Copies of this chain bind each other. A is one copy, B any other.
């Protein structure tokens, strides 16, 4: 394919995309296909000779769209939002054209340097303590990871390297095989499943400790767990504090847990994957009180800040623990300017990395802070609206607090009843929700996800829930 054809094809795709997104509300949010639907729709082998781009375009509606779950429909309320915006799509086009691999500064200085400055912009936008920012002139700085799960793992590995060095200094006769089995990390039972997975990947114990009745981790509970492990001869090294849990968007008490971590020299990693975007609004920053006690902090602009996946922003107060932990530096990756700018390959699990800072730059400039704040506040308002609709029907109860753009709710009654309700809702296919369960209580999660959502959409979604409940009760009786 040469340039003239590309121009026709790409511009046709631009129109298709605008049309898809502007009319996404009209599509069935959850596809009705069965596993294996796609294979019979396309040949069993790649073609020998090129096809026309018109044929490829035509196959999008025939092959792909019937199997797409439309995450950007106002009728999509599952998981948490994932971002999608026009500026980010255009930035990714440029990223694809430059197509540099930014593993070192010299491999494309702009790729590294824009990332350094964008993470400063972003850090300032959420009021992050200065020692996390590169512009402070200290050790700290930010990096774009692919996902929050990678940030959790990178922080865990940095914390592990740090504690190994400390313990070896105290006990020169202990080697890794003596120390590693003693290491123990902590998170709340409400932490994301990727924290447990990071423990498995990192080969260390990860203790899930009980949150309080509001599903928030308290400092005294963390301290009790650390003390018990110390008494048992174990070595506490890492704790994940979640700001905005997946199940209910609950906020751990960072201002309690952080000082406990500092007291026992336990690395504090703050995971605000979803809710962190809300910190661009000053009224939500009380949830991040105590951030100065953290060693690392992460949130996903690719969730709630209109920067397309993947763009997970992570800051480290002292990145050297991560950088030195796995620093392998072959000659073909060395360059003359090493040390005067970050070589981001040392900050992450993969070697290769795309020019993702472009997406941040385009989104921040083309929305401006004001419009991004408005986006967050609008979503929070829709959650309040849904909560009020829900509270107006005496068959329903809200589970816990309404935090950010998430409403957890259930029919008063058994878990079975609520499982039947969810099955009914998703079976109708007009809106899509997923459930969660805490201490044997099963509930439904309604996350506001789409940037196209308007107030009428919330009414539509509520009416779907209500109609499904009617059907469930009708079938029961």
Contacts and interface: CB of A to CB of B under 8 A. Distances in A.
Interface of A: 1-3, 5-7, 9-11, 13-18, 20-22, 30-31, 33-39, 42, 44-51, 53, 55-56, 60, 63-72, 78-79, 82-90, 92-94, 96-101, 105-111, 113-114, 116-117, 120-122, 124-125, 135, 146-150, 153, 157, 176-177, 180-181, 193-194, 196-197, 200-203, 246-247, 302, 308-310, 325-326, 328-333, 337, 340-341, 349-352, 354, 358, 361-362, 364-371, 434-437, 445
Contact of A69 (B3, B78, B107): B107
A267 B14 CA distance: 46
A352 B364 CA distance: 23
A16 B10 CA distance: 12
Top 5 A-B pairs, shortest CB-CB distance: A67-B110, A6-B86, A38-B113, A177-B181, A147-B350
A79 to B, nearest CB: 7
A369 B46 CA distance: 7
Contacts of A11: 11, 14
B5 A326 contact: no
6 contacts: A5-B86, A36-B340, A37-B109, A50-B367, A64-B98, A71-B98
Contacts of A1: 85-87, 366-367
A341 B36 contact: yes
Given A3-B22, A68-B110, A201-B349, A365 B46 contact: yes
Contacts of A10: 14, 17, 86, 89-90, 93
Nearest to A84: B99
A121 B349 contact: no
A101 to B, nearest CB: 5
A93 B17 contact: yes
A120 B436 CA distance: 35
Contacts of A39: 113, 116-117, 135
A475 to B, nearest CB: 19
Contact of A331 (B31, B105, B435): B435
B99 A82 contact: yes
Nearest to A359: B96
A82 to B, nearest CB: 5
